[in-house]
Amino acid sequence: MIVVTGAAGFIPSCLVGRLNQDNFNDIVVVDNFSIAKKENNLKGKKIKEFVDRENFFDWLDEHYEEVEFIFHLGARTDTTEFNKDVFDLLNLNYSKQVWNACCEYQIPLVYASSAATYGSGTLGYDDNEATIPLLKPLNPYGDSKNDFDIWALEQTAKPFFWAGLKFFNVYGPNEYHKGKMASVIFHTYNQIKEKGSMTLFRSHNPDYADGEQMRDFVYVKDVVEVCMFLMHHRKNSGIYNLGSGKARTFMSLAINTFDAMGVAPDINFMDTPSSIRDNYQYFTEANMSKLRSIGYDKPFHTLEEGVNDYVQNYLIPGRYY
């Protein structure tokens, strides 16, 4: 059996679908299943058992001999949430329990970290584990992810294989439920559909023109391919960046979305809200050489390829992955 935590969410539900494609059907999904708007993410997928996240460790104590791999992708991902206790509970302490269980039962583990750990990027975007304790995230979400990375690296007891993945700006199908935390592509599509235009944040940094703020946007289909690779690879434990490796502007993202919809671009600007302005990242780009160095050689979707596939094959028809 393969366990996927947070399974009703965006990236994990896509991973369940990708596992099914390779005939991995004994999948145990772990989540809080009370959120109705996430139900469609798992509809039609081959799943062996649904386990509430509150009951997961009791379940694992009974079934650990049957579990081949754990993908711990469940987390509170709201970067605008500032209640540290929420993140300590769901992101830090729950992850420590998963780690310790994988050590005790010798189960290999892949877990979700985040590019939010890099903060303003003053130390760059290299997944060098020596610099992880020096990173200064910009919000409690990033702190919770970095705190767990630091804790994991400090442990003498480790799963025989483990990997933490620093997800950059992931976009793609199955994020319909995410509201304000959905990708800019999702919001761009909906704004164009509703008004025929798109509004981006104005730049408040003299080094960047309006719309020229840059992010490493990575398509969720690439993210799940890396997860599949690590499940089979099971060596070279460590913490890895997971982005496309190429920063692109929000302007490019918006224009590509207009193009995929067959609509002439109409882009406006608004001030970045003061509540997030001081902590706003103007540039992120994953150094992907570490993952490449252990043998991952598949190409990543370009922004043009990913946006076109997402818009035409999922957003327009309202499909799920």
Give the annotated binding-site residues. Answer: 10-11, 31-32, 38, 53, 73-77, 145, 169-170, 178, 180, 187, 201-204, 215, 280
Give the annotated binding-site residues for NADP(+). Answer: 10-11, 31-32, 38, 53, 73-77, 145, 170, 178
Residues 6+ apart with CB under 8 A from 126: 241, 287
Which residues are identified as catalytic? 141, 178
Give the annotated binding-site residues for substrate. Answer: 169, 180, 187, 201-204, 215, 280
Give the residue from 205, 197, 85, 87 showing the smallest Cα distance to 141.
87
Pairwise CA distance, residues 276 & 186, whole Å: 20
* Residue 26 burial class via C-beta count within 10 angstroms: exposed 0-12, middle 13-18, buried 19 and up: middle
3-class SS string, 26-88? CEEEEECCCCHHHHHHCCCCCCCEEEEHHHHHHHHHHHHHHCCEEEECCCCCCCCCCCHHHHH
**Looking up tokens 């909906």, which residue turns up?**
190
Cβ atoms of 53 and 32 closer than 8 Å: yes
